Amino acid sequence: MPPRNKPSSDRFALKKCPTGIQGLDEITLGGIPRGRPTLVTGAAGSGKTLFALEFLVRGATLYNEPGVFMAFEETGEELTTNVSSLGFDLDGLAKQKKLAIDYVYIERSEIEETGEYDLEGLFVRLGHAIDSVKAKRVVLDTLEVLFGNLPNEGILRAELRRLFRWLKKKGVTAIVTGERGTNTITRYGLEEYVADCVILLDHRVTEQISTRRLRVVKYRGSYHGTNEYPFLIDKDGISILPITSLGLTSEAPSGRVSTGIPRLDTMFEGKGYYKGSSVLVSGTAGTGKSTMAARFAESACKRGERALYLAFEESPKQIVRNMGTAGIHLKPYLDNKHLVIRSERPTLLGLEMHLLQMTKLVTEFKPHIVVMDPITNLISVGFQADVKSMLTRFVDFLKAKQVTSLFTSLTSPGNLEQTDVGVSSLMDTWIVLKDIEGQGERNRGLTIVKSRGMVHSNQFREFKLTGSGLMLEDVYLGASGALTGAAKAAQIAEEEAAALARTEEIERLGRHIERKRQVLESQMIVLRSEFEAEEEEIRKRVAEVQAQKQAATDQRARAADTRKADEETSR
Amino acid sequence: MKNSKPKEPGEAVDFYELRLYVAGQTPKSLSAFANLKKICEEHLKGCYRIEVIDLLENPTLAKGDQILAIPTLVRKLPEPVRKIIGDLSNTERVLVGLDLRTIPQAERREA
């Protein structure tokens, strides 16, 4: 009997068996149908055997469900060797009675058919193997070998039908692999017997770049992701990332992250980017995009955070050396594992693979910030629409993880504000770096085109790379536009001279007034003294006249006394 | 091939070690055994040994001889090992499978 699934409110719901294959259980919302066979089909080399084997190994190691692998193509030793590089220890599992491998060999030239037969031998072997390890999972890889080697197809088909009924009755979850036919799901029509779940593996080469893809063609009685999902086979086995299912549901944290350039922080309300936002830095060649990106990474590491630098142009050593000359020292952070630089030529993998690898890296390393430099190089491996869709998913993925991301984009001069990939709409913040050419030199300018959800500066700044780091400076606005570099220096000198002249004029005028005042004041003193002298003269005269007047009165009185003049005459 | 030399019924031949794999007493396995017995008595009298293996009792033995179909007759000796599947009702084909054809036919087959 199959063990019960996780408690489910609906006891009629389809029970599912987690495969343990990274990502697949998310696409199928829990795994493949429990107790039923699932068909895994694909062309040669699409990873069917590995898929099936990983299903068993994960079952045995993660879910304590032993499994039986019935191999029709490879011997047990071959299988063991083939997957040991993936860290699957088949021998060890077999010793622990968690896995039984039965190699079925059949060769038509050694067989003579004489009358009626059935495939009871296969049933006996499978039944015995299942009983020997108490298997819950069974893989048949691949039954199609029988079609080539058993002469009577009628008997074979009848027996296969019986086999699948028998497997269901046994209650084992089975994976049956099949080769893909030209116009059919499998070459010999195995899908006829396995009606519950069909998974298609594909290995496609477009423009010389191969991508593995997986699609759930059919899943009776269950929702499932219907898209083609790229998958990766690496040292950890198969990983499928159902990235296309990510949506616009991410959180919007209000925390801020410094840009690494103090003056730029002030342009963003003095605080920098929003945490978990996406930043696009676009500009023509040599405008300092990478340097700005590296600075951002360095500042994150300085704060003790982890930064992931995905480079498509330079090797890690080259980046460390080149950034050193701009005063950005990445080596210590590489050493203390706060910084990981992953350099890869875009043409090495297809877009989906890049995406898968990057998301895998992010999941493992858990960085606080991610730098991708530059996204425009990805155009060389895909069409614009593909690149945009891939970046959308990557940005969504990073936002969901609240990772702040910075992307650089190389634009051709002329259509500066029209990014090649048309990704600007995905980005929360967009900084444009410009070349300002003139007067025999080339300078860099910086402007913020947009920054969602904040009041950012609308000013144009000169962006300077110096040995001690990055600097932002004001530009001079002249009659012919913004001035930078030598023109700016000339302008500064000119303005300084003019200012000096004005100061001198002010001082001169000041002195003039002072002189005037002094002249006036001295004149006033002279006048005052003249006036005082005159006043004294006049006062003297007045005193004299009064004295004379008194003297005359006295004279008259004395004369009257002597003449004894009567009153009347005196009147 | 040493078995391709002319052989007449009853003539001294190599010793035949035969194994018949069955799964329970089904009509097919019973008729296979009967057919085999008859052919051996006719063509290999005294020079053969038949071992019947019931896989329901000894399932592990199926692996060794790579048995899938039931019934299967395995000629262990003389070498090389040959397998004949089915209820052995087609005597001609059984004889071909066991390399017991009469001379002209045998030669024609090998030519």
SS3 of residue A404 by DSSP: strand
Tell whether the model's pLDDT for residue B104 goes beyond 50.
no
Do B28 and A113 make contact, defined as CB atoms within 8 angstroms? no
Minimum distance, in Å, between the CA of residue B46 and any CA atom of chain A: 24
For residues A177 and A51, give the distance between their C-alpha atoms in angstroms, rounded to a whole number.
9
Per-residue pLDDT, A380: 66
Question: Is the CB of residue B75 less than 8 Å from the CB of residue B16?
Answer: yes
pLDDT in tens, A183-211: 888 888 787 787 788 999 988 877 666 77
Residues of B with Cβ-Cβ distance to A118 under 8 angstroms? 28, 69-70
Predicted TM-score (pTM) of this structure = 0.66
Optimal mutation site among A69, A73, A112, A133, interface B, most CBs of chain B within 10 A? A112
Tell whether the model's pLDDT for residue A312 goes beyond 80.
yes
Question: Which CA distances in Å does A346 have to A230, A233, A362, A373?
Answer: 17, 19, 18, 11
Question: Is the CB of residue A431 less than 8 Å from the CB of residue A460?
Answer: no
Phi, psi at residue B66, to the nearest 5°? 55, 55
Closest residue in B to A156 (Cα–Cα) = B69
Nearest CB to A124; choose among B23, B87, B88? B23
pLDDT in tens, A362-404: 888 899 999 998 888 777 666 677 777 778 878 888 888 889 9
Minimum distance, in Å, between the CA of residue B109 and any CA atom of chain A: 14
Percentage of the residues of chain A whose pLDDT score is greater than 90 = 19
Phi, psi at residue A155, to the nearest 5°? -60, -45
Phi, psi at residue A27, to the nearest 5°? -65, -40
* Among A residues 127-146, those touching chain B with beta carbons less than 8 Å apart: 127-128, 146
In sequence order, the 6+-apart residues with CB closer than 8 A to the CB of A96 are: none
Least confident of A19-33, A416-430, A453-467, B75-89: A416-430
The CATH-assigned architecture of domain A256-474 is 3-Layer(aba) Sandwich (3.40)
Q: Among 2.30.42.10, 3.40.30.10, 3.30.70.3340, 3.40.50.620, what is the CATH number of B13-105? A: 3.40.30.10
Phi-psi region of B66 (alpha: psi -120 to 50; beta: other; left: phi over 0): left
Per-residue pLDDT, A481: 65
Do A118 and B69 make contact, defined as CB atoms within 8 angstroms? yes
Give residue A419's pLDDT band: very low, low, confident or very high (50, 70, 90).
low
Give residue A543's pLDDT band: very low, low, confident or very high (50, 70, 90).
very high
Question: Is the CB of residue A17 less than 8 Å from the CB of residue A31?
Answer: yes
Strands (E) across A37-194 are located at: 37-42, 67-71, 99-103, 111-113, 137-141, 173-179
Per-residue pLDDT, A218: 86
Touching check for A112 and chain B: CB below 8 Å? yes
Residues of A with Cβ-Cβ distance to B70 under 8 angstroms? 117-121, 124
Closest residue in A to B31 (Cα–Cα) = A116
Per-residue pLDDT, A7: 45
- Buried b vs exposed e over A136-165: b needs ≥16 C-beta within 10 Å? bbbbbbbbbbbbebbeeeebbeebbeebbe
SS3 of residue A476 by DSSP: strand
Longest dimension (CA), chain B: 43
Minimum distance, in Å, between the CA of residue A331 and any CA atom of chain B: 60
Residue range A177-188: average pLDDT?
83
Phi, psi at residue B98, to the nearest 5°? -90, 0
Residues of B with Cβ-Cβ distance to A120 under 8 angstroms? 23, 55, 69-70
Minimum distance, in Å, between the CA of residue B4 and any CA atom of chain A: 17
CATH number of A16-245: 3.40.50.300
ipTM: 0.79
Least confident of A165-169, A501-505, B101-105: B101-105
Structure tokens of A111? 């067989």
